[in-house]
Amino acid sequence: MSHKYLYKFILIGDAGVGKSCVLLQYTNKKFETSYNYTIGVEFGSQMLEIKNNLIQIQIWDTAGQETFRSITRNYYREAAGAILCYDITRRSSFVNVQVWLEDILKHSPKQIEIILVGNKTDLDKKRVVSYEEGKKFAKKHNIIFMECSAKTSFNVDKIFEDLAHVIYDKTCSLDKDELTKFQGVKLIPIDPEELEDLNEKSKNNSQCC
């Protein structure tokens, strides 16, 4: 019997910044030109390997509308990582990053790792939020920063991989009992014959909750 790590991530940000498209690009390697706003929470899953250890990432894509805020906050409490998104062509979505960050810090575990992501670099000609502004905000709050494009897939995989590596480095030396105290990270037994099927299953494991 071998084991895999399970990491829980949440996608957070204003409605329309492309959170669902980032999730779809990461889990299914495709982009939808028309995508309805998330109602409540959507779920996706993907596998990756870090230093010969199998990591299953569960991603909860939360709705950005105020109406669903009380529902989506329930998912903050058991998250090991948060991906905070804004649209580089919409300044209001960047301004609201401050509010979202405060929400994460208030309702999430203290050890949560956060990455700030500016989406839609494929629309660089319409950019109103500079790379330097995003980087400065992230540095001020001691969080990771990256820009991406859900449409072209630029940096999409790297967002999740970098966040997973940070969490792995923090938890890899913990034993099973110590891991139980680290919210959003679990060590799960798994039969060896199941391993070859996991990646294929994860590609199709996207559903609405």
Domain assignment present for 27: yes
**What's 87's domain CATH number?**
3.40.50.300
Domain assignment present for 71: yes
Domain assignment present for 26: yes
Domain assignment present for 167: yes
CB proximity list for 45: less than 8 A, separation 6 or greater:
27, 56, 57, 58, 59, 202, 205, 206
Residue-level pLDDT at 1: 41
Domain assignment present for 31: yes
Domain of residue 91: give its range.
Answer: 2-203
Structure tokens at 72: 């989506």
Domain assignment present for 198: yes
Structure tokens at 168: 């792995």
Tell me how many domains the chain contains: 1
DSSP conformation class of 33 = S
Please give the model's pTM, rounded to 2 decimal places.
0.85
Domain assignment present for 20: yes
How far apart (Å, rounded) are the C-alpha atoms in residues 185 and 56? Answer: 10
Query: What does the pLDDT profile of the chain (209 residues) look like in tens digits?
Result: 467 899 999 999 998 899 999 999 999 998 877 655 544 467 789 999 999 899 999 999 876 444 445 566 777 888 999 999 999 999 999 999 999 999 999 988 899 999 999 999 999 999 999 999 999 999 999 999 999 999 999 999 999 999 999 999 999 888 777 888 888 999 888 766 665 665 555 455 444 33
Domain assignment present for 208: no
